[in-house]
Chain A
Amino acid sequence: MGENKRKAGRELAKRKMGKSNKRQKQHSDFKTLDKRKKKRLGGPRLPTGLRRELDRVNHTNSDGEDDEIVSDEEKDVYEYEEGVPEEESRKNRRFDPVENYEYELPEKFEDEDVPSDDDENDFGGGKNESSMVESDDAEEEDDERHVRMLQGITGMPNEVFLGKKKKRNIIVSEAYPESEYNPSGDILDGRGHISVEDLLDPLHGKSGYSQLRKRVHQMARKPMTIHAPLPKVVQEKLERKAVYEQTKKDITKWEPLVKRNREAPTIIFEKDVNLGFSTVGAIASEFEPRTDFEKKIAGLVYDEKVIEAHNEDGSRLLELNKVTVEDYRSQRNHIAKLRSLLFHHEMKKKRIKKIKSKTYHRLAKKDRLKATSAEMEMDPEAAKEQAMKQEFKRAEERMTLKHKNKSKWAKRILKRGIPTQDDGTRAAISEQLHQHTLLTRKMKSMKDGSSSSDGSSDDSSDEEDVDENLDSSNQDTKLLERAKEKTLKVLEEDDDEPNSGVLSLPFMVRGMKKRKEAAVEEAKLALKEYETSLNQLDDLDSSKDSKIGAAAGGRRVFGAAKHVPELSSKIEVDNDYSDSDRDDDLGGENVEVGNASINELPKEGVSNLYSLLHDRDLEMHQDSAVKFDNIVEPGPKVPGEVAIFASGKWKKIKSGSEVDTNVKRSSKVVEPVSRSENLEMKTTNVVDANVKQFPKVVEPVSQIENLKEVVDDSDTDSEGQMVDGILSSGMKATYEIPSQADLIRHAFAGDDVEEEFVKDKDDILNEENPEPEKPVLLPGWGQWTNIQKKKGLPSWMLKEHENAKKKREEVLKKRKDAHLKHVIISEKLDKKAEKLHTKALPYPFTSKEVFEQSIRMPIGPEFNPATAVGALTRPEVVKRPGVIIKPIKFEEVDSFEKTEDRKRNAPKRKTNKNKHRLKPVVAKS
């Protein structure tokens, strides 16, 4: 320890050496004596002889020495010193440097032990001491001498110096003053004693002294051993433990508070927190000038004079805003001018926008021409008009000669001579001339067409009055005739052949001939066609004429035919409205087909139609010969409630009744109308045999009405009789007893329904859990001998089958409809609805029942009164934005409040208490 300190001192000195050279110079003058002494003591460990020599030399030198020399010498000595291996090792820092740093030289060190500030001396001293401690008795002589010398000088007793020296000898580097904590060397040596009394004496008269003394006495009387202090780690651990216990006790006071907060459904953080100003105005109103500048400004702004002046002259200042009439006028005029300018500009723009380019016009014209030409082709009327226009234009052109170089421009150009003009002008001139020719040309083709059409129209105009339809047919004939003429002409023209040129070559001639022949063939065919069609048309016309003629005359023969157009139109009307009830469009189509056929086949005559109808009816007749008894008695047949059943069970009967009507009709009605109706009936599955119809059937119109009815009935299903009830005005259809057949049908309707349903259910069950297959014996498998064969199927097979069956039954038993014979409940999982269920139990829940019951109550505002919704939907923490949540503050909470509440039985619980308990906790923040 001591060594360490010394070493540290030396090192410090060494480090300081270079720096403190100059300081040394300053100090050396008045501290030479000490230095000398130190020099003698310091230095390397030398043999005493040598040391003495050195001392002497030093003495002589130091008398009048220069500091430089001394230092040099010292350096020399130092170098020498380094040679010592022990010192060397120390210098190499073999000791822990940290320890060295820990050591600090106290301020008193220098004062006490080393009088000079010089490190060199200090170093030397230290050195000396160390050497002394080690074992140099020779030194003691010197010391004694020194003491003696000191005694001589100071006149103080020897002991003082000796003691000092002694002390210095033992622990010279001790840095602390002598005290009870730092006993002096004597005591350590065992030479001097410090008793407890010594230590106590200084405390005499202070508080607690008597106690201390008493304790000391006690201890003295009854001596006991004191254990060695525990290791630091353990000590600290114990300390921590104690602290923990303490804090634990301390922290329990928070428990009820925290518990309350935890259990509260909602924690509200202090509602009335001042969040500061909400508006700029509020902030501004609170503004107080603080800095000099602000104060100055405020002083100016709130200067009384200024305010006063403002108050007084405010109105006068406003007067400046007055506008003179002239100013106003000028301004208004300016605005008007601008507006008009804008308007003109707009108009201009509009006009410019309307202007189209040359190409646009050209294209437009082309389009227009195309359109007119197309129109001309399509519409003779338009063509006529066009021709008129053309004629007018031609007349105008011929009168004015506008395009025949009459214009000023054209004249000028002609005057200057055409060849001198550029291409563009020439083209323009020629274009103009072309225009003229075009305009003045007599429109021969048009004229011809119009004249011919005139002729025809003359013809047709008469006919138009009679029948417009004829006009079209006439046109057709005309077209055909023209085509015929043309083909004939072509045929005639064919004869002339080219006599010269390439075409006269023999092979060409041959080819031409061939082609011509083909063409002639074609033409002939076409001719034939034309002729046949012409003939047909003629026939048609004649027949029509005859019909029209006949209409006036004989009613009997052509009566039906006469009614045809009327009828068809009527039926069409029906289609619009009343037919709408038909089951499907088939009926409508049929009717139309019927009409069409009537139109198309007028020649075939009614008889043909009749026979056709009859045939069909006869067929049906044969089909349902059994049902004839029904037909025979046409008495008070019930139109009653006969529902249409979609199921096939009813089909037979239905067809029967259908035939009923058909047959009845066929016997009476000979007109095509009935046929159409018949068709109708066929398509619409009418069961209702309406007897009331019969007497009226003669009149076609009434029949149509009936038809309408029937058709209506067709869709009203079982409501059929209802409509009858309304529409047949004569006899109100009241409820009539259903026929026997109907009753029977109703009675036995559901006989097989049950079976069907059971079968259905079985099918569905089998689809989900198919029945196990019956074990089949495969020859050669699982059996080898006859004996086994006699035994039958192997037992494992049977067992397997049995098991499968059992399994199936179990599964079926688990179904919801297992015990419900007449119900099939689908067990299929709806994949789309899966998202409406939770996949697994949500976290804190462990029981499915509890979870499902806990979500049974809706919490929305639609399902709860407004007073309760808030509590149900309030979030766990309510906090206004901007509120700073401060740490929890201690407050007294009655921890037993809740438990008490729980213990109370139900009737005692008042809403008041409940409310109190369920109140959200308001946390003071």
Chain B
Amino acid sequence: MEISEELDAPEVKKFLRGKAPNLEVLQDKKLKGQLSVREEFYGISAKAAAKAAKWLMPSEGGFLEAEGLEKTWRIKQEAIAKEVDVLSSRNQYDIVLPDLGPYTVDFTSSGRYMAVAGRKGHLAIVDMQNMNLIREMQVRETVRDAVFLHNELFFAAAQKKYTYIYNRDGTELHCLREHGAVLKLQFLKNHFLLASINKFGQLHYQDVTTGEMIGNFRTGLGRTNVMEVNPFNGVVALGHSGGTVTMWKPSAVNPLVKMLCHHGAVSAMAFHPNGHLMATSGKERKIKLWDLRKFEVLQTLPGHAKTLDFSQKGLLAAGTGSYVQIFRETESQNYSRYMGHSMAKGYQIGKVSFRPYEDVLGIGHSMGWSSILIPGSGEPNFDSWVANPFETPKQRREKEVHSLLDKLPPETIMLDPSKIGTVRPSKKKEKPTKQEREANKEAAVEAAKGITMKKKTKGRSKPSKISKKKQDNILRAKRPFLEQQTHEEMSKKQKLISENKEELPVSLQRFASKKPKS
């Protein structure tokens, strides 16, 4: 495959991140020159990046292809197992743990480690590469959710009353009392924030590096355990029983967006990795795909989902009852059925989660957890600077420091983070009201009255002189306000006159100024 040298080539265009500015509008020659030089640098960089991508990311993701009348969703896991290599077939398994209740699973960003939490207090960390159980413990308390923090060394578990942070060895490091009885946890790995929604519908943001509570908001929409983070911008979305989805950021008390997605309660939600696509599922048995740039429905799929998840390549998994369904985007930009998998009867799926950088779907259910193969779900090439499944401890340490240095402040969470650095949106600065203006004037006058006079000699401090000076001061303080007022009045008059002029026929315009105003 030859990468063309053109900047218009799609491989290169991807790295140019948008159009170059139109330099023709610029008057400043120097700036023009500088910008054109910059643009050329960008072009060189994009080309180099395209080349690097070509050489360093050789593998391409595959997917199931049906022949003739065959349907991809008819293909069973057993059939896949026969075809794939040994390493991949190892990823098909069921772990049956009937005693400790429905399980939830969470993967680290590299997909190497998995945290498993059973409702009845069973917590475990598993190394997925060699299927090694790193640590297992029983907290003897309800565990509702568990998430990894920035790496596999720490994870947070939402337990009966409080949320706890454990390290890999199972040592309790922190007890986060302020969060209350948390139903669902999410970790924002770029901002180092732990977001939680508790039983009373309160959304908490806590900075895990400093322990500072960044935000504490009452949603006022009742109890929910549907919470997802938009990976693109860090906005936390909550699904509520009224069918609404609210999106939050830690620096605003009110939701950024509140949208009515379903008529029934929202039961699950997921975000596409590019952040522009949201999938929600409602109790009224509909799964909807939303375009988050326009806040419009793209597609409505029939069916119910207790849990949803997008894979890195954009496959959508929906789990309900004991059945998992996978949707895939077709050429016509629509999601359609791609695969399905039914568990043993009676297994109730609680959570589906795609394993990053692998074609694997992890399923947490009432009888343990399972793992199935979904061809084409994971990103085939990993970037070791982003997430390295084969990370050594040294690399992990280094990355921890790097990511801490690159930690984003919570204010950077916004709907469109690409707007950062641009010109501040103009404030709708309304004119001060008449009352405000009056108040300002009063304040100025008071301030002028309060000025103490210097004692002067030779009769310049005579009472008469002082009083005169005071009067002068007051007048001076009033003056700008009065001037402004008159100015405004004048401008208003002018406006009126001009309006009138426009209205009047030519022959009558000469009388316009003489006409008394109503």
> Contact: A850 with B44, CB < 8 Å?
no
B514 within 8 A of A: no
Instruction: Please give me the residue from chain A that is nearest to B385 by CB atom.
Output: A862
B498 within 8 A of A: no
> Contact: B422 with A826, CB < 8 Å?
no
Q: A716-B102, A751-B263 are in contact. Are A852 and B423 (CB under 8 A)?
A: yes
A19 within 8 A of B: no
Q: A722-B366, A833-B411 are in contact. Are A856 and B45 (CB under 8 A)?
A: no
Instruction: Please give me the residue from chain A that is nearest to B56 by CB atom.
Output: A865
Instruction: Please give me the residue from chain B that is nearest to A915 by CB atom.
Output: B44
> Contact: B35 with A749, CB < 8 Å?
no
Stretch binding the partner chain, chosen from B20-28, B446-454, B477-485:
B20-28
Q: How far is the CB of B403 from chain A (nearest CB, A)?
A: 11
> Contact: A576 with B140, CB < 8 Å?
yes
B interface residues, how many (CB within 8 angstroms): 93
Instruction: Please give me the residue from chain B that is nearest to A750 by CB atom.
Output: B263
Q: A722-B366, A826-B256, A868-B45 are in contact. Are A647 and B421 (CB under 8 A)?
A: no
Bound: A869/B48 CA distance, A: 10
Q: Which of A829-878 contact B (CB under 8 A)?
A: 829-830, 832-841, 844-858, 862, 864-865, 867-869, 871-872
B231 within 8 A of A: no
Instruction: Please give me the residue from chain B that is nearest to A757 by CB atom.
Output: B260
Q: How far is the CB of B122 from chain A (nearest CB, A)?
A: 12
Q: What 0/1 readout, one digit per residue, does chain A (903-922) give for beta carbons within 8 Å of chain B?
A: 00010001100110110000
> Contact: B366 with A836, CB < 8 Å?
no
B295 within 8 A of A: yes
Q: Interface size for chain A: under 10, 10 to 19, 20 to 34, or 35 or more residues?
A: 35 or more
User: Which of the residues A836, A837, A856, A918 comes within 8 Å of B37, measured between beta carbons?
Assistant: A918
Give chain A residues whose Cβ lies under 8 Å from the Cβ of B22: 849-850
Q: How far is the CB of A610 from chain B (nearest CB, A)?
A: 33
Bound: A754/B254 CA distance, A: 20
Give chain A residues whose Cβ lies under 8 Å from the Cβ of B6: 906
Q: What 0/1 readout, one digit per residue, does chain B (422-442) give for beta carbons within 8 Å of chain A?
A: 111101000000000000000
> Contact: A749 with B284, CB < 8 Å?
yes
Q: A719-B348, A846-B27 are in contact. Are A830 and B16 (CB under 8 A)?
A: no
Give chain B residues whose Cβ lies under 8 Å from the Cβ of A844: 28, 30-31, 34
Give chain B residues whose Cβ lies under 8 Å from the Cβ of A853: 18-21
Give chain A residues whose Cβ lies under 8 Å from the Cβ of B423: 837-841, 848, 851-852
Bound: A547/B282 CA distance, A: 59
Bound: A851/B33 CA distance, A: 14
Q: Which of A701-724 contact B (CB under 8 A)?
A: 712, 715-717, 719, 721-723
Q: What 0/1 readout, one digit per residue, does chain A (800-835) give for beta carbons within 8 Å of chain B?
A: 000000000000000001001011111011101111
B276 within 8 A of A: no
User: Which of the residues A746, A828, A833, A868 comes within 8 Å of B48, measured between beta carbons?
Assistant: A868
Q: How far is the CB of A522 from chain B (nearest CB, A)?
A: 50
Q: Which of A67-83 contact B (CB under 8 A)?
A: none
Stretch binding the partner chain, chosen from B124-132, B238-246, B468-476:
B238-246
Give chain A residues whose Cβ lies under 8 Å from the Cβ of B425: 829, 837
Bound: A828/B345 CA distance, A: 50
Give chain A residues whose Cβ lies under 8 Å from the Cβ of B263: 749-751, 753-754
Q: A846-B28, A872-B41 are in contact. Are A826 and B255 (CB under 8 A)?
A: yes
> Contact: A581 with B142, CB < 8 Å?
yes
> Contact: B49 with A825, CB < 8 Å?
no
Give chain B residues whose Cβ lies under 8 Å from the Cβ of A725: 346, 348, 366
Q: A719-B350, A723-B101 are in contact. Are A647 and B222 (CB under 8 A)?
A: yes
Q: A645-B241, A753-B243, A830-B252 are in contact. Are A850 and B140 (CB under 8 A)?
A: no
Q: A826-B255, A864-B49 are in contact. Are A750 and B16 (CB under 8 A)?
A: no
Give chain B residues whose Cβ lies under 8 Å from the Cβ of A834: 424
A760 within 8 A of B: yes
Give chain B residues whose Cβ lies under 8 Å from the Cβ of A911: 5, 44, 47
Q: What 0/1 readout, one digit per residue, does chain B (127-145) give for beta carbons within 8 Å of chain A?
A: 0000000000000111000
Q: A844-B30, A850-B35 are in contact. Are A826 and B421 (CB under 8 A)?
A: no
Bound: A263/B30 CA distance, A: 8
Q: A719-B366, A825-B295, A826-B257 are in contact. Are A646 and B19 (CB under 8 A)?
A: no
Q: How far is the CB of A584 from chain B (nearest CB, A)?
A: 8
Q: How far is the CB of B344 from chain A (nearest CB, A)?
A: 10
> Contact: A580 with B141, CB < 8 Å?
yes
Q: Which of B250-288 contact A (CB under 8 A)?
A: 251-252, 254-265, 282-284
Bound: A760/B421 CA distance, A: 33
B167 within 8 A of A: no
Stretch binding the partner chain, chosen from A203-211, A303-311, A492-500, A732-740:
A732-740
Bound: A249/B21 CA distance, A: 39
Q: A853-B20, A854-B21, A871-B41 are in contact. Are A830 and B251 (CB under 8 A)?
A: yes
A726 within 8 A of B: yes
Q: How far is the CB of B421 from chain A (nearest CB, A)?
A: 5
B412 within 8 A of A: yes
A34 within 8 A of B: no
Bound: A582/B242 CA distance, A: 24
Q: Which of B43-93 contact A (CB under 8 A)?
A: 44-45, 47-49, 51-52
User: Which of the residues A836, A837, A850, A869 comes within 8 Å of B26, measured between beta carbons?
Assistant: A850
Give chain B residues whose Cβ lies under 8 Å from the Cβ of A823: 257-260, 295
Bound: A823/B415 CA distance, A: 14
Bound: A910/B5 CA distance, A: 8
Q: What 0/1 readout, one digit per residue, does chain B (167-201) give for beta carbons within 8 Å of chain A?
A: 00000000000000000000000000000000101
Instruction: Please give me the residue from chain A that is nearest to B418 by CB atom.
Output: A856
> Contact: B346 with A734, CB < 8 Å?
yes
Q: How far is the CB of B395 from chain A (nearest CB, A)?
A: 16
B17 within 8 A of A: yes
> Contact: B414 with A830, CB < 8 Å?
yes
Instruction: Please give me the residue from chain B that is nearest to A756 by CB atom.
Output: B242
Give chain B residues whose Cβ lies under 8 Å from the Cβ of A822: 259-261
A583 within 8 A of B: yes
Bound: A849/B346 CA distance, A: 58
Q: Which of A634-666 contact B (CB under 8 A)?
A: 643, 645-647
B321 within 8 A of A: yes
User: Which of the residues B52, B101, B350, B424 comes within 8 Å of A839, measured between beta carbons?
Assistant: B424
Most buried by A among B34, B44, B119: B44
Give chain B residues whose Cβ lies under 8 Å from the Cβ of A839: 423-424
Give chain B residues whose Cβ lies under 8 Å from the Cβ of A723: 101-102, 366
> Contact: A833 with B260, CB < 8 Å?
no
Bound: A717/B102 CA distance, A: 12
Bound: A263/B33 CA distance, A: 7
B396 within 8 A of A: no
Most buried by A among B160, B346, B418: B346
Instruction: Please give me the residue from chain B that is nearest to A837 by CB atom.
Output: B424
Give chain B residues whose Cβ lies under 8 Å from the Cβ of A722: 102, 348, 350, 366
User: Which of the residues B16, B366, B421 comes within 8 Å of A726, measured between beta carbons?
Assistant: B366
Q: How far is the CB of A264 from chain B (nearest CB, A)?
A: 9
Q: A750-B264, A750-B284 are in contact. Are A836 and B412 (CB under 8 A)?
A: yes
What are 21 sample pairs from A and B whose C-beta atoms fall under 8 A apart?
A: A580-B160, A643-B265, A643-B283, A645-B265, A646-B241, A750-B243, A750-B264, A757-B242, A820-B259, A824-B259, A833-B412, A844-B30, A844-B31, A851-B422, A856-B17, A858-B17, A865-B48, A865-B51, A868-B48, A918-B37, A918-B41
**A-B complex: 8 closest residue pairs judged by Cβ atoms:** A750-B263, A868-B45, A646-B222, A837-B424, A853-B21, A722-B348, A822-B260, A865-B48
Given A577-B121, A577-B141, 11 extra CB contacts under 8 A: A712-B101, A717-B225, A746-B283, A830-B249, A850-B23, A851-B422, A868-B41, A868-B48, A869-B45, A871-B44, A872-B45
A: residues with CB less than 8 A from B are 263, 265, 576-577, 580-581, 583, 643, 645-647, 712, 715-717, 719, 721-723, 725-726, 732-735, 746-747, 749-751, 753-754, 756-757, 760, 817, 820, 822-826, 828-830, 832-841, 844-858, 862, 864-865, 867-869, 871-872, 906, 910-911, 914-915, 917-918
